[in-house]
């Protein structure tokens, strides 16, 4: 029997802007500013949330979705079932102390195992990957990234992957080009009549 994969697309005519690895004290506010009134989903690293809780609360107050990414940014294929379960429990506890209850989860690098799925089910978390990878961690310019991902976004239903912090393996020195890309994607999507959504807006009942 084929294992069900995490969702990677939204609905026709809709696009979800998503960010992994934050919060970051410099770049998360920058991304929030570029988003303006457009909603987005932030998959947070709760080890960073403990250092910058106010940033996550600010994002939530602005109407963005706070999803869970990890407490330790490690591939689930390198963790035992108990370690995966503990990571999620620690992360949800951190967010719960801020009054936040995530509904969506993106595992580090989008890698899921059978235990990832079982843990998601226990905590009523819907797993999400992405359809459109900006590869912003490489340090490409916003213009280059827009040219690469724009056509897929134009088709609708896209889940766009970006990062509002410097995560493991990043080859860039900052997230400035991601901020520029956000502004460009917003303009492109609005011109095309796209509806911007949070992932929980299209969550499976």
State the first-to-last Cα distance of the chain, in angstroms, to the nearest integer: 23
d(CA 101, CA 77): 26
Output the six-digit token pair for 141.
């310019």
**Active-site residue identified among 133, 163, 174, 201:** 163
142 Cβ contact list (under 8 Å, min separation 6):
177, 178, 180, 181, 184
* Residue 51 annotated to the active site: no
174 token code pair: 């900052």
201 assigned to active site: no
Q: Are 30 and 7 in contact (CB under 8 A)?
A: no
Count the neighbouring beta carbons within 10 Å of the beta carbon of residue 96.
Answer: 11
Active-site pick, 20, 21, 24, 136: 20
Residue numbers annotated as active site: 20, 163
């Amino acid at each position: 029997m084929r294992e069900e994969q995490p969702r990677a697309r939204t609905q026709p005519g809709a696009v979800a802007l998503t960010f992994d690895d934050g919060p970051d004290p410099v770049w998360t506010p920058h991304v929030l500013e570029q988003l303006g009134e457009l909603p987005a989903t932030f998959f947070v690293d709760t080890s960073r949330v403990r250092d910058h809780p106010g940033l996550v609360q600010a994002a939530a107050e602005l109407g963005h979705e706070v999803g869970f990414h990890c407490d330790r940014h490690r591939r689930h294929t390198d963790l035992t079932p108990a370690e995966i379960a503990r990571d999620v429990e620690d992360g949800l506890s951190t967010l719960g102390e801020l009054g936040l209850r995530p509904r969506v989860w993106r595992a580090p690098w989008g890698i899921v195992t059978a235990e990832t799925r079982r843990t998601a089910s226990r905590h009523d978390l819907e797993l999400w990957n992405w359809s459109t990878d900006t590869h912003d961690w490489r340090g490409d310019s916003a213009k280059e990234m827009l040219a690469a991902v724009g056509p897929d976004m134009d088709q609708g239903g896209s889940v766009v992957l970006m990062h509002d912090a410097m995560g493991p393996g990043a080859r860039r020195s900052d997230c400035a080009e991601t901020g520029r890309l956000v502004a460009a994607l917003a303009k492109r999507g609005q011109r095309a009549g796209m509806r911007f959504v949070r992932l929980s807006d299209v969550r499976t009942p």
